[in-house]
Amino acid sequence: MTDSNLVFPGQEVASEEEYLAAEGTFAEDGVVYASQVGELVLDDDNCVAKVISPNPPNVLAVGDIVYGVISDVRNTMATADIAGKEGVERTLGGDTYATLHVSKISQGYTDNVENELRKGDYIRGKVTVIKPALQITTKDDHLGVIKSYCSKCKTEMVISKKGDGLFCPECRYATPRKLADDYGNVKF
Ligand SMILES: [Zn+2]
CATH code, domain carrying 19: 2.40.50.100
Distance 93 CA to ligand 1 centre (A): 33
Percent of the residues in the chain that have a pLDDT greater than 90, as a whole number: 65
Distance 105 CA to ligand 1 centre (A): 24
Q: Which of 170, 165, 140 is nearest to 154 (CA)?
A: 170
Asked if residue 132 belongs to a domain, the reply is: yes
> d(Cα 104, Cα 38) in Å, to the nearest integer?
26
Distance 18 CA to ligand 1 centre (A): 29
> d(Cα 95, Cα 130) in Å, to the nearest integer?
10
> d(Cα 39, Cα 50) in Å, to the nearest integer?
8
- Residues pairing with 65 in the sheet: 126
69 and 45 part of one domain: no
pLDDT 10s digits, 108-132: 888 889 999 999 999 999 999 988 8
> d(Cα 8, Cα 35) in Å, to the nearest integer?
7
pLDDT 10s digits, 27-65: 999 999 998 888 899 999 999 999 987 654 557 889 999
> d(Cα 51, Cα 96) in Å, to the nearest integer?
16
Q: How many domains does the chain have?
A: 2
Q: Which of 87, 85, 83 is nearest to 96 (CA)?
A: 83
69 and 142 part of one domain: yes
Answer whether residue 143 shows pLDDT above 90.
yes
DSSP structural state of residue 149: B
Domain membership of residue 26 as a residue range: 6-52
> d(Cα 37, Cα 89) in Å, to the nearest integer?
14
The more confidently predicted of residues 6 and 1 is 6
Q: Note if the pTM is more than 0.85.
A: no
Distance 159 CA to ligand 1 centre (A): 13
Here the CATH number for the domain that contains residue 107 is: 2.40.50.140
Confidence of residue 135 (pLDDT cuts 50, 70, 90): very high
